């Protein structure tokens, strides 16, 4: 009899649901498991349906979501095996400051589960304070989907940033550094694959609306991927998704030396980690002037993304762990 897996999340459109559950479903099915997903948001009806499905599953995996004490108690009582999977610093505020309420709910969730899956080393350390059964399972991507060929512009040097309005602040804070780079790199342009633009920043921009069907080609048609971020607890909880997308698309990467970005990038081998505005400008200028260096770093990043962060590579680590819980 196959093992029934139930993934519980706030919705199918949530990035944690897509990247840490749904993209594994074909592999789970091929391996003889029965994966299913249920949304835990939407009122009493959704809650009762979640508990009903949890009672029929062999293993319940909650994605990123914490619950009030009574509901958590009911879910624990209902579930044969309960796993908590998270890929964000949900124990603090989004500006990185402490939150007693969020920490208390996170701690309760971690304590009551049979196992915790964390998206990076920082998150794993936080969870280990409340549960010794913690495994680091990095966020991964379908690396083959980003292995596309696209013409790059010859009259501009395109930096690319992919994200959403919720992470706009990281890019906005980097604009003075990028403006300094633009003053020394002729034709430098910033392609923003998102739902916003940053006009009037002193850097030529090319806003491109994000679409799942076109994101890989938009990345491949750029020259350098950038990933500025803050160095606070909320940012340390991020799981380097955009860096992995750049690497899988064969781009050299310049990133802040913070969080999981510093785990994914091998400085000088497949990208550069920087800590100051001067370093940002220097690394971008170096890559802008050396097409062969961009190619070598991009190829190394593509190999690393496929070997260590592809869906197949991460599933090979995840499957025996989950199977052992059944």
Kindly report the number of other CB atoms within 10 A of residue 182's CB atom. Answer: 22
- Asked if the 4-140+311-323 domain carries CATH number 3.40.50.2000, the reply is yes
Mean pLDDT, the chain, integer: 95
Band (315; pLDDT cuts 50, 70, 90):
very high
∠ CA 124-130-131 to the nearest 5 degrees? Answer: 70
Backbone dihedral angles phi then psi of residue 290, each to the nearest 5 degrees: -140, 90
The Cα–Cα gap between 134 and 158 comes to: 40
Q: What band does 60 get if pLDDT is binned at 50, 70 and 90?
A: very high
Quickly tell me which residue has 């701690």 as its tokens.
107
Quick check: 200 pLDDT over 90? no
- pLDDT confidence of residue 228: 96
**Which residues of the chain does CATH 3.40.50.2000 include?**
4-140+311-323, 144-308
List Cα–Cα distances, 228 to 138, 161, 162, 258, in angstroms.
Answer: 20, 9, 11, 9
Model pTM above 0.85 = yes
Check whether 41 has a pLDDT greater than 90: no
* Residue 212 CB neighbours (<10 A): 8
* C-alpha to C-alpha distance for 224 and 220, rounded to whole angstroms: 9
Q: Is the CATH number 3.30.1360.70 carried by domain 144-308?
A: no
The whole-angstrom separation of Cα 248 and Cα 308 is 11
Is pLDDT of 1 > 80?
Answer: no
Tokens linked to 323: 């199977």
Q: Is the predicted pLDDT of residue 208 greater than 90, yes or no?
A: yes
């Amino acid at each position: 009899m196959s093992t029934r897996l139930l993934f519980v999340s706030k919705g199918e459109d949530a990035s944690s649901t897509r990247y840490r559950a749904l993209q594994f479903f074909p592999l789970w099915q091929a391996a003889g498991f029965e994966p299913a997903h249920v949304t835990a948001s939407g009122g009493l009806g959704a809650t009762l349906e979640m508990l009903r499905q949890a009672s029929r599953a062999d293993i319940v995996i909650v994605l990123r979501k914490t619950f009030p004490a009574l509901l958590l108690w009911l879910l624990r009582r209902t579930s044969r095996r309960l796993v908590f999977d998270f890929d964000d610093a949900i124990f603090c505020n989004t500006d990185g400051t402490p939150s007693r309420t969020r920490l208390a709910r996170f701690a309760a969730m971690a304590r009551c589960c049979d196992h915790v899956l964390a998206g990076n080393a920082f998150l794993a350390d936080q969870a280990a304070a409340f549960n010794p059964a913690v495994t680091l399972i990095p966020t991964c991507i379908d690396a083959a989907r980003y292995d596309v060929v696209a013409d790059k512009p010859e009259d501009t040097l395109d930096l690319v940033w992919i994200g959403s309005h919720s992470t706009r602040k990281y890019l906005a804070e980097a604009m003075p550094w990028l403006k300094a780079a633009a003053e020394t790199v002729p034709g430098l342009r910033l392609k923003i694959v998102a739902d916003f633009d940053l006009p009037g920043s002193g850097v030529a921009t090319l806003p491109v609306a994000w679409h799942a069907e076109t994101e890989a080609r938009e990345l491949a048609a750029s020259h350098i991927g950038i990933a500025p971020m803050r160095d606070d607890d909320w940012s340390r909880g991020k799981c380097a998704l955009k860096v992995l997308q750049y690497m899988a698309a064969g781009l050299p990467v310049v990133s802040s030396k913070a969080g999981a970005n510093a785990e994914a990038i091998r400085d000088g081998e497949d990208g550069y980690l920087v800590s100051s505005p001067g370093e940002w400008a220097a690394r971008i200028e170096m890559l802008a002037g050396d097409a062969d260096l961009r190619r070598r770093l991009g190829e190394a990043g593509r190999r690393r993304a496929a070997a260590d962060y592809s869906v197949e590579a991460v599933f090979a680590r995840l499957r025996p762990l989950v199977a052992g819980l059944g």
